[in-house]
Amino acid sequence: MNPEELLYCETHEWIHVEEQAGSKVGTVGISAFAVEQLTDLVYIELPEVGRAISAGGEFGEVESVKAVSPLYCPVAGEIVAVNSDIKDRLEVLGEDPYQAGWLIKLRITDESALSELLDYAAYQKQCAEEG
Amino acid sequence: MPYSFITHEDRQAMLSAIGAASLEELFAPIPDELRIQGPLDLPPALCELELEQHMHQLAAKNAPAGEKVCFLGGGSYDHFVPAVVDAIASRGEFYTSYTPYQPEVSQGNLQVMFEYQTLICQLTGMDVSNASLYEGGSAAAEAVLMSMSTTGRPNKVVTSASVHPEYRQIIETYFEQLNSELVTVPAPDGTVSIEQLAATVDDDTACVLLQHPNFFGCLEDVAAAAEIAHHHNAVLVVSCDPISLGLLKRPGDLGADVVVAEGQPLGTPMQYGGPYLGILACRERFVRRMPGRIAGQTVDRRGRRCWVLTLQTREQHIRRERATSNICTNQGLFALRAATYLATVGPQGLRQTAELCLRKANYAADAITADRRFSRAQHQPFFKEFVIRDAKGQVEALLDEATNSGFLAGIPLAPWYPELEDCFLVAVTEKRTKEEIDALANCLASVSVEAPVAVTQ
């Protein structure tokens, strides 16, 4: 996925939204900036398929040698797929955060939160301020 | 350390630093009705000699286990403590040390923690142990919280009436601020009813908490409980007596997922109820939900073996209010005592200790029940504790009389178990001699014959 076409949370998750069989499906991951800030990742906890999550709700956590950080869901939905393989290949998050490093896919149940998200330019600006 | 008291100059310096003219001005915002008017109601000051005499008089009112013959149990036991335990634990390097946040200057402490954890894993059959918690009761409560967060089942925990009542109270206290229910399954003949346990555990149950040997000293069917818990994907937490593991199968081999224990029997005297040692060990899959400190082994940049605190990212000094637990103080000194004790007695010594407890407890039960006034209240196999029923129902007077004769004969069960109000709990450790046990039996029997205590209020 092209990072310039994604939407971002202030908490560094990205989402890509597409139409699938009449409903909107979002693919969620964390940004290259987030992975870089977290330093060496050691563990990730992801939810089970079927769980409903609200916009801004926690869907898991990622642990580095320095800290444990919650993962926040950009939009409300029901989880339809989880990238479980990534647990054993955390390096993928650093190598390819926007494609192979996706974390969850969810069927969006309320898209209102999408309008609050940052576009690429706004997110880059935030990262520059934080970095 | 000398006592430094505050001088008038100190007080003025502090007041001027915060911009208050006087103490009165500083306290002015406190409403009058909340302030004590006039001086504190204290007796006149004593000189050092008078104070020492006063404290001696107060201390003499205690009846320590070292001066009476002790048959008290219920979570705290009069086991033998080899002299080497005190010799090592009283070394200044250990005695005054604090949490080893800085591994490069704390290798000795970290090595002790790692060895303690290793010994606890070997003893319990678990994969991981933390570096200890406060004591057995809070370890049980933390194990319950671990089970709730791991299973994602926050609402229900099942335990047994045969689990230490104070441990259950601690869990109830934790639950007061949570929407969780602690369901207690009855233990009609001293052990949990397996049928009722099976009927109570369901798919909402986070864990089953059992004690084995249990509060009454009886052995539970842990394997059956494990099957019930695991059938519903619930966690089995077993609270055990570490001394019993010299003889009994390890809880891990019986199907336990988390093992907790009061570690006091391992090298710590009874010392009026604490401080003690909370043991907490678990299967590896729970490690990220485990509260407290964990020492890990690694290598330094020259490839030499060394130790660090590991998995700290979930602890409160890093994660604040999102920490796994906000009780992460360990009992480093008592973990050191436990590690020293286990290393000193070794597997053979622990087995001998456990065997002596078992045999002497069985001998004591027979000796006491030789008098027809006394019988065992339960009919299950037991380890080092058993419940005696007094046919005359005068437990309190009986135990008082025994204390006057030099025996701490047992714990009355009435405060916790109304149905056992005519019963008391007797514990027998390897320290009790045949003579002491015979003398206790004679003492109880003679109270029985003379019955001067039959005059009740």
State the pLDDT confidence band at B326, using cuts at 50, 70 and 90. low
Whether A64 contacts A121, CB under 8 Å:
no
Q: Which residues pair with B297 in a beta bridge?
A: B307
Shared domain for B134 and B152, answered yes or no, is yes
Lowest mean pLDDT among B123-127, B312-316, B379-383: B312-316
Cis peptide before B213 (omega within 30 of 0): yes
Shared domain for B144 and B196, answered yes or no, is yes
Q: Which two tokens stand for residue B426?
A: 């007797």
Shared domain for B123 and B239, answered yes or no, is yes
Q: Could you say which of B306, B341, B376 is where a domain stops?
A: B341
- Give yes or no for residue A34 having a pLDDT over 80: yes
Q: Which two tokens stand for residue B174?
A: 């934790």
Cβ contacts of A66 on chain B, cutoff 8 Å: 313
Q: What is the pLDDT of residues B353-370, one digit of tens each?
A: 999 999 999 999 999 999
Quick one: average pLDDT of B137-148?
96
Q: Could you say which of B297, B322, B341 is where a domain stops?
A: B341
Lowest mean pLDDT among B46-55, B63-72, B78-87, B207-216: B63-72
Rounded Cα–Cα distance for residues B154 and B160 (Å): 19
Q: Is residue B317 part of a domain?
A: yes
Q: Is A128 on the interface with B (CB under 8 A)?
A: no
Exposure of B435 in the CB half-sphere (CA atoms within 13 A)? 0
Q: What is the pLDDT of residues B283-310, one digit of tens each?
A: 999 998 898 889 999 999 999 999 998 8
Whether A68 contacts A40, CB under 8 Å:
no
Cβ contacts of A39 on chain B, cutoff 8 Å: none
Q: What is the pLDDT of residue B100?
A: 75
Shared domain for B152 and B169, answered yes or no, is yes
Is B319 close to A68, i.e. CB distance below 8 A? yes
Task: State the sign of the Cα–Cα–Cα–Cα dihedral B18, B23, B24, B27.
Answer: positive
Residue of chain A whose alpha carbon sits nearest to that of B310: A65
Q: Is residue B430 part of a domain?
A: yes
State the pLDDT confidence band at B1, using cuts at 50, 70 and 90. low
Residue of chain A whose alpha carbon sits nearest to that of B309: A65
Q: Is residue B150 part of a domain?
A: yes
Q: Which domain holds residue B398?
A: 69-78+346-454
**Tell me, what CATH number does B265's domain have?**
3.40.640.10
Rounded Cα–Cα distance for residues B201 and B205 (Å): 6
Rounded Cα–Cα distance for residues B89 and B86 (Å): 5
A45 compared with B102, residue with greater pLDDT: A45
Residue of chain B whose alpha carbon sits nearest to that of A64: B313
- Which stretch of DSSP H or E encloses residue B402? helix B395-404
Whether B432 contacts B389, CB under 8 Å:
no
**Tell me, what CATH number does B426's domain have?**
3.90.1150.10
Is A65 close to B313, i.e. CB distance below 8 A? yes
State the pLDDT confidence band at B190, using cuts at 50, 70 and 90. very high
Q: What is the ipTM of this complex?
A: 0.70
Q: Domains in chain A, start-ordered, CATH in brackets?
A: 3-125 (2.40.50.100)
Spell out where A76-124 has E strands: 76-82, 104-110
**Residue of A45, A46, A66, A68 to mutate, testing the B interface (most B Cβ within 10 Å of its Cβ):** A68
The 8-class DSSP code of residue A19 comes to E
User: Which of B279, B75, B243, B229 lies closest to B167, judged by CA?
Assistant: B75
Rounded Cα–Cα distance for residues B293 and B290 (Å): 9
- Which stretch of DSSP H or E encloses residue B407? strand B407-408
Cβ contacts of A70 on chain B, cutoff 8 Å: 322
Q: Please give the torsion angle defined by the CA atoms of residues B349, B432, B248 and B229, in that order, rounded to the nearest 10 degrees.
A: -140
Integer angstrom CA distances of residue A73 from A43, B41, B53: 18, 60, 68
Q: What is the pLDDT of residues B328-342, one digit of tens each?
A: 566 889 999 999 999
Shared domain for B318 and B411, answered yes or no, is no
Average pLDDT value for chain B? 93
Q: Is A61 on the interface with B (CB under 8 A)?
A: no
- Give yes or no for residue B455 having a pLDDT over 50: no
* DSSP three-state, residue B429: coil
